[in-house]
Amino acid sequence: MATFSADVYQNEFLPDGGTDVHAIVTVTCSGAGEAGQSGSGDAAEVVIVDTSGSMSGENIAAAQRAARAALDQVLDGVWFAVVAGSHEARLAYPQGLEPEMVRMDQRTRAEAKAAVTGFRADGGTAMGTWLMLATRLFAGVPSATQRHAILLTDGINQHESPEQLGAAIEAARGRFQCDCRGVGSAWQVAEVRMIATALLGSVDLIAKPDQMAADFGRIMQQSMGRGVADASLRVWAPQGAKVLFARQVSPTVEDLTTRRQEVNALTGAYPTGAWGDESRDYHVAVRLPAKAVGQEQLASRVQVAVGDVVVAQGLVKAMWSNDDTLTTRIDPAVAHYTGQAELAEAIQDGLAAKAAGDTDTATVKLGRAVQLAAQTGNDEATTRLRKIVEIDDAGTGTVRLRRSIDKLDEMALDTASTKTTRVKK
């Protein structure tokens, strides 16, 4: 039986007239069990592999190995299907007149792996059609409460309009989660990130084809370890207050604010997808009407709900004080994650400016990123930034753009921009 806990880190003291309360809430799940085993519903997996013409040669062989590695990790009894994607979506397994999924067992696993081995690189790229087929497949298994896909691509979405892709993403939103991977340097991080963000999944770069199989196996293994099919973060704020933002800050930065679904007038729910044994940190900011010095009130109830059942709750408080030593202290966790979120934004803005040819803005933004990475102790980000900029002074954020930059290094910096380090507690 999965159990959740919620721990709050904040400075509850506000100065006279202060209105904004910030808190980091660490949500921890333990005893999650395995996907589809909790009794609350089945699990279903769709493996989507790009088989467009650009995949020919080393990539398609690596993609076959990766798909087989993923299939090896799917637990017996889990519903599954394999989609081969080009300018159209083809159901590679199971093969039938109508798109449908089958349960994993010894026979279907062997058949699916054989079907994958028959992949040939041919045609264009229209990822929206791949998502549409996956949405149809999942809809055919109403017993599956945990629905997850892996999507692999190597190119730009050339053979359909951005509107068509956008519509396919919206049709898939809330129907399944999707972890996305791009192989090589010919794909667009922003385009694939759009899919992953909407479908509560991750996006990452696979620089070399031979890394693909290990990565796919790991993603599927992680998905199989998520025994809680679906949980949501609920944020209650008192009457007259406003939730300024709600964002996941660890393991990656994801702004949840616009994903709010109303539970009641004072409570919003933000979908967080499936959970395994793990911790995630959330940053919640609430603006309250100021009260008199000495008064205390609850600024927010931050809850975890599985279905309609609240399984954990953390209390964010506000206490007005005229003691400066209390009110001026910034909670270390809040400071850390505020810096990490700004770091992600600075990297993405800097790379976007560089891509647009705006060298000045790119230098300023990436300089700020170097400064924040140093301040928050994010050494991995510093290492990735160093491949893009020469660092003259990390303390002041003084940098120069490098003359020759490997495209893969730039993409690695982009995809990893949202990954945060945990605050040292």
Partner 1 sequence: MTGPGVGGSGQPVSAVVEGEAGGPLSCGSCASPVARGERFCEACGADLGQPAPAAGPPVPPEVATTSRTCRECGGDVGADGYCTRCGASAPSLRDHFTEQPAGWVGAVCDRGIRHARNEDAVALGAGSEPGSHAVLVVCDGVSSSTDSDVASLAAARAARDVLAVSSPQGVGTATTRVAASARALVAAADAANAAVIAHTTSGPGNPASCTFVAAVVDGPLLVVGWVGDSRAYWVPDAGDAQLLTVDDSFAAEEIAHGVPRAVAESGPQAHAITRWLGIDAPDHTPRTVSLDLDGPGWVMVCSDGLWNYCSEPHDLAALVATTGRASGPEPLRLAGALVDWANAQGGQDNITVAVARVGLTRQVATAHSTQPTDTSASQPKPPREEAGPDGNVLS
| Residues near partner 1, by CB under 8 A | 1, 237-241, 266, 288, 296-299, 301, 313, 315
Nearer Cβ to partner 1 (96/240): 240
Nearer Cβ to partner 1 (203/299): 299
Helix locations, 182-249, DSSP H: 189-198, 212-224
- State yes or no: cis peptide before 94, omega within 30 of 0: yes
Nearer Cβ to partner 1 (14/299): 299
Instruction: Please state the closest distance from residue 326 (CB atom) to partner 1, in A.
Output: 17
Nearer Cβ to partner 1 (98/308): 308
> Between the CA of residue 65 and those of 40, 60, 157, 217, what are the distances in Å?
33, 9, 24, 10
- In whole angstroms, what is the distance from residue 214 CA to residue 197 CA? 23
Nearer Cβ to partner 1 (295/396): 295
Nearer Cβ to partner 1 (44/233): 233
Q: What is the DSSP string of 71-128?
A: HHHSPTT-EEEEEEESSSEEEEES-SSS---EE--HHHHHHHHHHHHT----S---HH
Instruction: Please state the closest distance from residue 239 (CB atom) to partner 1, in A.
Output: 5
Nearer Cβ to partner 1 (31/166): 31
Burial class of 315 by CB neighbour count within 10 A (0 to 12, 13 to 18, 19+): middle
Instruction: Please state the closest distance from residue 280 (CB atom) to partner 1, in A.
Output: 22
**Tokens at residue 269, please?**
């729910």
Instruction: Please state the closest distance from residue 292 (CB atom) to partner 1, in A.
Output: 12
Instruction: Please state the closest distance from residue 198 (CB atom) to partner 1, in A.
Output: 33
DSSP 8-state code for residue 419: B
Instruction: Please state the closest distance from residue 335 (CB atom) to partner 1, in A.
Output: 25
Instruction: Please state the closest distance from residue 297 (CB atom) to partner 1, in A.
Output: 5
Q: Which residues of 78-115 are buried (b: 16+ CB within 10 A; e: fewer)?
A: bbbbbbbbbeebbbbbbeeeebebbebeeebbeebbeb
Angle, CA of 83, 203 and 48, to the nearest 5° = 5
